[in-house]
Structure 1
Amino acid sequence: MTINQWKLRQLDVNNAFLNGHLDETVFIEQPPGFEEPKQPTHVCKLNRALYGLKQAPRASFQRLSTFLIVLGFQNSRADPSLFIYNHHGVLIYLHVYADDIVVTGNNEKFINMLTSRLHKEFKIKDLGLLNFFLGLEVTHTSSGLFLNQSKHAYDILSRAGLLDSKSVSTPLTSKDAFTTQGQPFHDPTLYRSLVGALQYLTITRLDLSYAVNQASQFLQQPTTTHFQLVKRIPRYVKGTLSQGLTFDRPPNTVLLGFSDADWARCLDTRRSTYGYCIYLGGNLVSWSAKKQPTVSHSSCESEYRAMANTAAEIIWLTNLLSELHALPQTRSTLLCDNKSALFLSQNPISHKRAKHINIDYHFVHELVTSGQLDTKFISTDQQVADIFTKSLPQPLFDKFRSMLRVGPPPSLH
């Protein structure tokens, strides 16, 4: 969207789950106040969906998708909730989430016609320019978009009782570590509620990703130590309440991925933590911070597995961009700061010495050989994905946060 400077329109479907036609036979009891006195034991057969019915979301989406396909849209294979119209020079993207629809494209007249057709079929409400979507606040700038969740962040501070607390400069200190040791926390529900709210905040505040990922691993049996560490995260949020993610019109459309892993980071299981971030023309489009499912024998192995996960995400993005008719002409590049892992991805001979690595991960080498992916070395001080693998000192944390394009609104720059 920012590449072509298209406008984002938001539509709302009135009573969305009541629009679906049921393919299954479903009976309900007679509603209170509408009983048939002569036949009190009879039940009602549903022809259309109702709120609370488990089939309702699927039935509603099925009817909407069928209608869009009749209009000439194609359902994306990479993202089932995305529909694409590409005929006679008209290119339209339409994304559906429950009763919310976002549409953009290169032909405003066609979008107006589409909105009118949808309104006749589903009672659509045109909300105009996109400004608030699923808790995300959207600010339109002269060069692109700014996304933030300041209202949600404020609600977290209020829920945690930290509105008057002193702010801190980082989500975790470089010495903080989540372990299984400690006294059980007296209110696990409060811990889970707070961490869950923070998880949703990471949609635009990816600088919280590592800290929230660590806290999420102890939802079952949190300790008092865990809760004290988690309380630091909202205190960091308080000092950066207005910050969010910036998208500008890029100078190119190159896919560039950063991959990193911290070997044996978990003190209890010795599993590694890995992270990646992927840019499209300088705008961040995908990122992740996770703990690897198995123990790695070496830092090379953990880095190589991280590269494989990043490569899989790049391939998915490539397929999505191909469907959007926006595929970059140049091949994607994956940057890693481990020379051994890079050598493993480029040299098939070394695979004989790495048979213990699951064969599924060797597809990275196949991507490099086929020319679909280019792997290069990057120094650790420029490895922005490092922010997803460990807690960093403030200067380095601030540097990588800026590289992720997380910061205050454009008007405050």
Structure 2
Amino acid sequence: MRHFITRLNKEFSISDLGKLNYFLGLEVSYHDSGLFLCQSKYAYDILARAKLLDVKPVSTPLSTSAYFTTQGSPYSDPTIYRSLVGALQYLTITRPDISYAVNQVSQFLHAPMQDHFQAVKRILRYIKGTISFGLSFLHSPSPNILGYSDADWARCIETRRSTYGYSIFLGGNLVSWSAKKQPMVSRSSCESEYRALADTVAELTWLQDLLRELRVPVKTVPTLWCDNLGATYLSANPVFHARTKHVEVDFHFVRERVAQQKLSVQFITTDDQIADIFTKPLSSPRFLQLRSKLQVVTRP
């Protein structure tokens, strides 16, 4: 490492500041078991900008009854709304637990309503109570890859598009996650789950290629967990494909990777589905359970 830095310094004017501690709002702390990433100062600045430093905290970023539409009273200051939502999007770098909520309020940046701003305030109230939380990374003897894929069929009451999410773990540590609305309407829950599988497999494939370039050996086949039996069978059994011809051909590369033994798609119960936190608002006990499985914890 020292040799590399010396060679690099001959080409560019650089300074070696030692171990990373703070960079662009990202705080890094080290402990015996690994490291801890958080954005506590950045989160504090967001709360100060919104003048919500003294609000009462809540246990979840969204109510279980939260549904968002384009109807209602327009919010008086869309610029403030966009500014706060943009800041929350950056906060998701170390706070995957707010990814779904931030994705929901991000869909109304062009014309936010009062209800949308109230949702942003609730997210900030949740941040207030968990301001010291961040991502924990622990040492792992083997870099096995596990993925969890989930979709909530036709959740959007205006477009009937599904919301999907995934989480990918490397050696037991969360390294990639997503919460998004699918770009098209699915005609069944199996189809929406299968589309979610395809997006997760694309991310898994990219991660495998990255690890190969970094010369990190991954000897086991990645396992992808899905809580929909139909989508699980569809990934391995070509007979079922005759019933899903309306699904675009590019999504069928999931089955090809399974057939090539480069991926294993397995069924998991909904109770054990970690990606559930990225597809819908959850009750407090369920949310706290899944948050801990993402290794989103308070500063050690």
2:119 aligned to which of 226, 229, 233: 229
Q: Distance in 1 between matches of 2:30 and 2:291?
A: 22
- Structure of higher RCO (CA pairs closer than 8 Å, 6+ residues apart): 2
Aligned residue in 2 for 1:159: 49
Cα deviations by residue, 1:148-175 (Å, 9 ceiling, x for unpaired) = 0000100010011100110000000101
2:28 aligned to which of 105, 118, 138: 138
How do 1:352-363 residues align onto structure 2 when only pairs under 5 Å count?
A: 352-363=242-253
**Paired residue total:** 300
2:158 aligned to which of 249, 262, 268: 268
Q: Distance in 1 between matches of 2:283 and 2:239?
A: 39
Q: Distance in 2 between matches of 1:139 and 1:172?
A: 29
Aligned residue in 1 for 2:219: 329
Other structure's SS at 1:357 match = coil
Given that 1:318 and 1:327 are in contact with CA atoms closer than 8 Å, whether structure 2 keeps it comes out as no
Of the structure 1 ranges 145-154 and 244-253, higher mean CA displacement relative to structure 2 is found in 244-253
How do 1:248-259 residues align onto structure 2 when only pairs under 5 Å count?
A: 248-259=138-149
Q: Which runs of at least 4 in structure 1 moved beyond 3 Å after TM superposition?
A: none
CA RMSD between the two structures: 0.8
Q: Note the C-alpha offset of 1:176.
A: 1.2
Q: Distance in 2 between matches of 1:330 and 1:119?
A: 39
Q: Does 1:219 align with 2:109?
A: yes
Cα deviations by residue, 1:242-288 (Å, 9 ceiling, x for unpaired) = 00000001132111000000000111110000000000110111100
TM-score (norm 1): 0.72
Cα deviations by residue, 1:303-331 (Å, 9 ceiling, x for unpaired) = 00000000111011111111111131010
Task: Give the number of the structure whose residues are more often strand, by fraction.
Answer: 1
- Output the amino acid matched with 1:171: P
Percent of aligned pairs with the same residue?
A: 63
2:270 aligned to which of 375, 380, 398: 380
Q: Note the C-alpha offset of 1:144.
A: 1.0
Q: Does 1:399 align with 2:289?
A: yes
2:135 aligned to which of 213, 229, 245: 245
Other structure's SS at 2:17 match = strand
Q: Distance in 2 between matches of 1:251 and 1:195?
A: 38
Aligned residue in 1 for 2:7: 117
Of the structure 1 ranges 389-398 and 125-134, higher mean CA displacement relative to structure 2 is found in 125-134
How do 1:292-307 residues align onto structure 2 when only pairs under 5 Å count?
A: 292-307=182-197
Given that 1:145 and 1:246 are in contact with CA atoms closer than 8 Å, whether structure 2 keeps it comes out as yes
Given that 1:210 and 1:389 are in contact with CA atoms closer than 8 Å, whether structure 2 keeps it comes out as yes
Other structure's SS at 2:16 match = strand
Cα deviations by residue, 1:334-376 (Å, 9 ceiling, x for unpaired) = 0000001101111101100100101110110001000000010
How do 1:8-407 residues align onto structure 2 when only pairs under 5 Å count?
A: 111-407=1-297
- Output the amino acid matched with 1:359: V
- Output the amino acid matched with 1:270: R
Of the structure 1 ranges 342-351 and 118-127, higher mean CA displacement relative to structure 2 is found in 118-127
Whose Rg is larger? 1
Of the structure 1 ranges 121-130 and 143-152, higher mean CA displacement relative to structure 2 is found in 121-130
Given that 1:259 and 1:307 are in contact with CA atoms closer than 8 Å, whether structure 2 keeps it comes out as yes
TM-score (norm 2): 0.99
Q: Distance in 2 between matches of 1:219 and 1:228?
A: 14
